[in-house]
């Protein structure tokens, strides 16, 4: 019998799993995708918000501020790139200065340290900002994080501490059966005492499998540009416009990988699974971003993408028991600022909710640290050579754009939440993430995956099952 079954291996589900793995519990996680963090947790702005923006008193405000303070330790334990670079919310018109002051007031209420800057002070910090700038709100505790490895490592740490992860498991039915839930997927069924619904854009649908619900989740699509490693200092902070009811607006920010990200738009999406992009929306993203930073080199764009925010009709995170039963816990509507809030949400869900229905006893063997990833860029010349001598694969560069070695790829494959697809490997290592987008290295990546899993190349998918690349052999070719 499973003690806790978590539906959804996004950042929230993964961090809840990790927290639960510190107790003596039998914990399982289901996700319909072929990798953890493959939907909203993958396609967002990757910003660790300071918390000046959410309405005071809401769950969003509470968990944002608390979550922000947990990030430095979390990212150290999980070996994730995180930089507290601060954010600047900029006013481009005189009349916006008043709004900045209101935001500063709100920050005080939320307990977030901020500072109002004059136009000159902003220009000193950000030489490329629009000459129209009239002032800005500096929030020094805002940061940027690698959202891919954050989710992967959170789940990896959970698995290292005993959690079972089941990918490609889409839940289709949940039945309460005496004192446990029977959770039915397309190919299996799982019996669990407690179910935690962390199903992101589908969390209202999952909730509705156990009782009638009085709210709904709407997918709100955000489209983005990713620019290449252009040069340092295009912007040094996360640059926001003033927020509106549609969200925090289109930001320009460095990423932890040395690229720049521009976006997101905000449109209601009827199809929750749809992550397409369109020209008109992206043109508008471009226009608004150029208003703030006129010199953004859009000819250095290497990728566009979109993600869906799970926007709840309640306007706040839904983190509570189901009305019918305390053994079904909803963690729903975790839209922005969800990424930053997730560690605080995980603590709350386990300490305040799960603890009411299960006895929590600490696991002596729990280790909060993941095995450190080898960061070649941080090694000295001598250390790197010693490593290559021990394992020559660390000398063989497979991805030329991002300088990813075969050693790093094989290390990822040896970890406890290994990548099963080209995309999953890309998220972990950046192989194929650069300017050529895998144009040169993709076949080598496929070969490495095929060899590791002992399958033919034809069975290696780009993402989920059905997305295989080496579908047919040429005349006289064979599928190795």
Partner 1 sequence: MIEKDLVIIGGGSAGMASALEAHNQGIKSILILEKNPYLGGILNQCIHNGFGLHEFNEELTGPEFMTRFSDLIEKNKIEYRLLSNVLSISEDKVVTYSNSYEGLVEIKAKAIILATGCYERSPGAIQIPGTRPSGVYTAGQAQLYLNCYGYLVGKRVFILGSGDIGLIMARRMTLEGAKVLGVAELMPYSAGLNRNIVQCLKDFDIPLYLSHTVKEVKGKEQLSKVVIAKVDEKFNFIPGTEIEFDADTLLLSVGLIPNCDLISKLDISFSKTRGANVTQDMETDVPGIFSAGNVLHVHDLVDYVVSEAKEAGRGAAKYLNGKLTHKGHVYSLKPGYGIGYVVPQRIFIEDAGEQIILKFRVTRPFKDINIFIKENDNLIKKIFKPAIIPSEMEIVKLDKSLFKSLDNTIDVYVEEKK
Interface residue list for partner 1 (CB under 8 A): 225-226, 231, 273-279, 282, 301-305, 381, 384-385, 388-389, 392-397, 400-401, 403, 405-406, 435-440, 442-443, 457-458, 461-479
Q: Which is nearer to partner 1, 435 or 451 (CB)?
A: 435
Please state the closest distance from residue 449 (CB atom) to partner 1, in A: 14
Residue number, 34 or 68, with CB nearest to partner 1: 34
Return the sign of the alpha-carbon dihedral for residues 403, 407, 409, 415: negative
Instruction: Label residue 432 exposed, middle or buried (CB < 10 Å: 0-12, 13-18, 19+).
Output: buried
Active site residue 207: no
Closest approach of Cβ 181 to partner 1, in Å? 29
Output the smallest distance, CB 121 to partner 1, in A. 29
Report, in Å, the least distance between residue 437 CB and partner 1.
4
User: How far is 118 from 113, CA to CA, in rounded Å?
Assistant: 17
Q: State which residue, 14 or 281, has the beta carbon closest to partner 1.
A: 281
In angstroms, the CA 399 to CA 442 distance is: 8
Closest to 181 measured CA to CA, from 6, 405, 368: 6
Nearer to partner 1, 145 or 406 (CB): 406
The string of DSSP letters for 358-426 reads: S---B-TT---PPPPP--GGGS-HHHHHHHHHH-GGGG-EEETTTTEEHHHHHHHHTSSS---SHHHHH
Nearest of 22, 32, 357, 360 to residue 183 by alpha carbon? 32
Task: Tell the smallest beta-carbon distance from residue 395 to partner 1 (Å).
Answer: 4
Toward partner 1, which CB reaches closer, 185 or 393? 393
CB of 429 to partner 1, least distance (A): 15
What contacts 317, CB < 8 A, 6 or more positions away?
Answer: 58, 59, 60, 63, 331, 332, 333, 334, 338, 341, 345
Nearer to partner 1, 66 or 376 (CB): 376
Q: Minimal distance in Å, beta carbon 63 to partner 1?
A: 31
In terms of Cβ atoms closer than 10 Å to its own Cβ (0-12, 13-18, 19+), residue 201 is buried
State whether residue 32 is helix, strand or coil. Answer: coil
Do 28 and 190 form a contact (C-beta atoms < 8 A)? yes
Our CB check for partner 1 shows the closer of 123 and 435 to be 435
8 Å CB contact between 45 and 22: no
Cβ(53)–Cβ(240) below 8 Å: no
- Non-local (6+) Cβ contacts of 246 within 8 A are 266
Indicate which residue of 28, 49, 153, 452 is catalytic: 49
Q: Which residues are catalytic?
A: 49
């Amino acid at each position: 019998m499973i003690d806790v079954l978590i539906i959804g291996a996004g950042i929230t589900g993964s961090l809840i799993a990790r927290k639960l793995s510190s107790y003596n519990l039998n914990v399982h996680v289901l996700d319909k995708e072929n990798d953890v963090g493959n939907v909203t947790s993958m396609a967002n702005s990757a910003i660790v918000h300071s918390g000046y923006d959410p309405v005071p008193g809401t769950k969003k405000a509470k968990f944002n501020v608390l979550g922000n303070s947990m990030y430095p330790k979390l990212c150290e334990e999980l070996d994730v790139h995180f930089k507290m670079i601060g954010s600047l919310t900029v006013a481009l018109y005189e009349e916006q200065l008043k709004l900045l002051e209101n935001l500063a007031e709100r920050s005080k209420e939320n307990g977030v340290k901020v500072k109002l800057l004059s136009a000159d002070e902003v220009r000193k910090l950000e030489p490329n900002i629009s000459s129209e700038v009239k002032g800005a709100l500096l929030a020094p505790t805002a940061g940027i994080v690698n959202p891919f490895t954050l989710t992967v490592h959170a789940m990896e740490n959970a698995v290292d501490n005993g959690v079972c992860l089941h990918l490609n498991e889409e839940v289709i039915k949940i039945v309460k059966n005496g004192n446990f839930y029977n959770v039915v997927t397309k190919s299996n069924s799982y019996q669990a005492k407690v179910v935690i619904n962390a199903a992101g854009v589908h969390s209202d649908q999952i909730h509705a499998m156990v009782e009638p619900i009085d709210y709904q989740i709407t997918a709100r699509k955000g489209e983005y540009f990713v620019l290449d490693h252009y040069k340092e200092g295009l912007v040094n902070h996360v640059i926001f416009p003033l927020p509106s009811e549609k969200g925090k607006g289109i930001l320009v920010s460095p990423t932890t990988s040395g690229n720049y990200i521009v976006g997101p738009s905000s449109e209601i999406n009827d199809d929750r699974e749809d992550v397409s992009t369109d020209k008109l929306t992206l043109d508008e993203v471009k226009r608004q971003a150029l208003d703030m930073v006129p010199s953004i080199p859009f000819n250095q764009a290497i990728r566009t993408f979109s993600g869906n925010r799970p926007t709840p009709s309640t306007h706040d995170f839904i983190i509570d028991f189901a009305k019918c039963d305390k053994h079904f816990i909803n963690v729903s509507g975790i839209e922005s600022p969800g990424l930053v809030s997730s560690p605080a949400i995980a603590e709350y869900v386990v300490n305040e909710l799960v603890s009411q229905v299960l006895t929590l006893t600490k696991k002596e063997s729990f280790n909060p640290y993941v095995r450190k990833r080898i960061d070649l860029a941080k090694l000295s010349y001598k250390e790197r050579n010693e490593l290559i001598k021990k394992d020559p694969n660390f000398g063989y560069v497979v991805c030329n754009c991002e300088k990813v070695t075969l050693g790093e790829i094989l290390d990822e494959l040896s970890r406890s939440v290994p990548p099963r697809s080209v995309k999953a490997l890309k998220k972990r290592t950046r192989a194929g993430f650069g300017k050529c987008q895998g144009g040169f290295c993709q076949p080598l990546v496929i070969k490495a995956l095929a060899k590791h899993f002992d399958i033919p190349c034809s069975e290696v998918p780009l993402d989920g099952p059905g997305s295989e690349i080496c579908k047919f052999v040429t005349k006289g070719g064979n599928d190795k």
